[in-house]
Structure 1
Amino acid sequence: MRFQETLLEGRLIERYKRFLADVALDSGEVVTAHCANPGAMMGLKEPGSRVYLSRATNPNRKLKYNWEFIEIAAGGGPRQLIGINTSRPNLLVAEALAEGRLAPFARYERVRPEVKYGRNSRVDFLLEKDGEPPCYLEVKNCHLMREAGFAEFPDCVAARSAKHLHELADMVAEGARAALVYVIQMDAERFDVARDIDPAYDKAFRHALAAGVESYAYVCRITPEEVTIDRPVEIVTPR
């Protein structure tokens, strides 16, 4: 996914009220950007960090900028760009599915986003092919790294995400295929559930795996011009 315009660079002043971030642009202007991330953003909101903003495409929107990346030495490793915009992963997965770059799902002929299922929920993608069971595909954004090279999810209690895991397990019980894709918006070598942050999510994740829900984790290649799903990495959660 290429950005339509060059991203603006600046320094983070403060992230506050969950969805707002004040940034001092390199031009000297101070702006308030939309922070599309409801999580704790552990390690990703240090004042003075270099950040990158995109311009909002809707000219009528109150906040004219979106916070896209922060540059930090995550987990004590080398400095890198980390994507904090949680609205990006679904777009990245849709792009990768359309281009046939996600091997476990390459055989499906139709991709439908935001399909109602379960207990008053919507699955991110429903994949279909004539003569085969449908595949319910849920996408999660990952940007937590407390140890170099080791990505984790979630970064706060994620009750809604745990609910989705139980609903995916229910779909498997009904004869469908179900899968979870973690989009890691940074470079990493391994992935695991942050069970110390949310034990309930870890329990739901293990239940889903035991029920037959598949899980995959992909790191992204990130530059100021483009972000794209790059390669799969190992999920180390013991079954």
Structure 2
Amino acid sequence: MRFSEPLIEGRLVQRYKRFLADIELASGEWITAHCANPGAMLGLKEPGCRVLLSRASNPARKLQYNWELVEVAAGGGPDQLIGINTSRPNVLVAEALQEKRLAPFARYDRIRPEVKYGRNSRIDFLLEKDGEPPCYLEVKNCHLMRQPGFAEFPDCIAARSAKHLYELTDMVAAGARAALIYVIQMNADRFDVARDIDPAYDKAFRHALAAGVESYAYVCRISPDEITIDHPVEIITLR
């Protein structure tokens, strides 16, 4: 996924009300950007951090900037760019599915986004191929790192995400295939559930795995020009 125009550099002043961030641009101008991230953003919101912004495509929108990337020493490791925009992973997965770059799902020839299923929910992608059970694919964004190279999800209580796990389990029981993809918008070499942050999500995750729900974690290659799903990493729970 290439950004449509060069990103704009600034320094974080503060992130507040979950979806707002005050930024000082390189020019000295202060602006308020949209922060498309409902999570706690642990370690990613310290004042003074270098941030990169995109411009809103709609000139009539109140907030004309979107916070895309932050540069921090995640987990005490070296500085790296991390994607904080939680609307990007679905775009990244859609691109990778279309280009057949996700090996576990390469055989499907129909990709339908945002399909209703379960108890008043929508699956991120429904994958289909004649003669095979459908595959319900849920996408999660990961940007938490508390140890160098070790990515975790979630970074706060994630009751809605736990609900999705139980609904994926129901799809497997009904004869379908179901899978999770954790899109790690940073550099990491392993992944696991942050069970100390949300024990209920960990319980739902383990229940889903035992019922046959598949789980995959992919790191992204990130630059100021583009974000691309790169390669899978080990999920510790699956050892």
In which range does the TM-score fall when normalised by the shorter chain? Answer: over 0.9
Provide the residue aligned with 1:65 in structure 2: 65
Shift of 1:172: 0.2
CA shift digits 1:59-113 (9 cap, x unpaired):
1110000000000000011100000000000000000000000000000010000
Provide the residue aligned with 2:178 in structure 1: 178
Partners of 2:58 and 2:219 in 1: CA distance: 29
What is the root-mean-square deviation of aligned Cα atoms in Å?
0.7
Provide the residue aligned with 1:126 in structure 2: 126
TM-score in terms of structure 2 length: 0.99
Provide the residue aligned with 1:153 in structure 2: 153
Q: Secondary structure at the match of 1:169?
A: helix
Amino acid of the residue matched to residue 183 of structure 1? V
Q: Which runs of 4+ in 1 moved over 3 A?
A: none
TM-score in terms of structure 1 length: 0.99
Output aligned runs, 1:108-127, within 5 Å. Answer: 108-127=108-127
CA shift digits 1:185-212 (9 cap, x unpaired):
0000000000000000000000000000
2:49 is the alignment partner of 1:49: yes
Shift of 1:19: 0.2
Amino acid of the residue matched to residue 195 of structure 2? R
Amino acid of the residue matched to residue 181 of structure 1? I
Distance 1:125 1:8, change over 3 A: same
Amino acid of the residue matched to residue 124 of structure 1? D
CA shift digits 1:149-168 (9 cap, x unpaired):
00000000000000000000
The unaligned stretches of length 5 or more in structure 1 are: none
2:212 is the alignment partner of 1:212: yes
Q: Secondary structure at the match of 1:160?
A: helix
2:198 is the alignment partner of 1:198: yes
The unaligned stretches of length 5 or more in structure 2 are: none
Partners of 2:58 and 2:227 in 1: CA distance: 21
Provide the residue aligned with 1:141 in structure 2: 141
Q: Secondary structure at the match of 1:92?
A: helix
% identical equivalent positions: 83
Shift of 1:238: 5.0
Partners of 2:27 and 2:9 in 1: CA distance: 9
Partners of 2:78 and 2:180 in 1: CA distance: 28
Distance 1:216 1:238, change over 3 A: closer
